[in-house]
Amino acid sequence: MIRVPLTSIKFAEKKRLRLYIPEQMEHISIRSNCPVSLKDVSTNIDLKGSHVCTIKSVTMEQLTVSVEDAACTIKGASVKALVLHANDAPVSIKDVDATSVQLHVMDGPVSMSGLHVDSLWMETGDGPKTVRHSTIKEMIVQSTGGPFSMKELHVDVLKGQVEGHAVHMKDCVVKDNQLGEIR
């Protein structure tokens, strides 16, 4: 574990700290109380933060992100496993190739597009959920409320239960729809 004492950090005008991660490192855990931006990283990351999180153009085996009430954007990721925990802030996931994606979002809005995923598991609350322009082999949804919109999706198996609001589907191909009762 690398620890950087607060007194030794010298900020630039934009108050950024840039870290260069050697390719030989296999796994890094980041705990942050300030905004985090990751770009062009190939090391497995476990990130826990309380501020805005932006992740772009990463290629790795495992990406685990936990944010409190801060917005999280993941764009252009190629991972085997992506796990995201978020509370009530917006979550945006775009252009992701993954074997497994697990989302645990309380009541914040979720927007996903350009996914190529073998298994997508979504556990969400009352916030709006949108999934579009994606190819997913197995999609499991557990939602306690809020609108759920799907557009231009190709899904082999759709499972789960959406309570509360309606499910909207437009231009979707679902080979096996096992979505539970919608109230």
Name 82's Cβ contacts closer than 8 Å, sequence gap at least 6.
63, 64, 65, 74, 96, 98, 100, 101, 102
The pLDDT assigned to 10 comes to 53
DSSP helix/strand/coil, 11 = coil
Q: How many residues does the chain have?
A: 183
Q: Is the pTM of the predicted complex or chain greater than 0.85?
A: yes
The pLDDT assigned to 182 comes to 44
Q: CA 165 → CA 26, 129, 168, 172, distances in Å?
A: 43, 11, 10, 19
The Cα 84–Cα 42 span in angstroms is 18
The Cα 7–Cα 73 span in angstroms is 30
The pLDDT assigned to 1 comes to 59
Task: Per residue of the chain (183 residues), give pLDDT as tens.
Answer: 556 555 555 555 566 667 777 778 889 898 888 888 899 989 999 999 888 899 999 999 999 999 988 899 999 999 999 999 998 889 999 999 999 999 999 989 999 999 999 999 999 998 999 999 999 999 999 998 889 999 999 999 999 988 877 789 999 999 999 987 444
Radius of gyration of the chain (CA): 17
Task: Quote the Cα angle for 71-75-80, to 5°.
Answer: 110
Domain regions of the chain by residue span: 27-179
Scan for tokens 């409320």, then name that residue.
Answer: 145
The Cα 124–Cα 87 span in angstroms is 9
The pLDDT assigned to 50 comes to 86
Name 19's Cβ contacts closer than 8 Å, sequence gap at least 6.
none
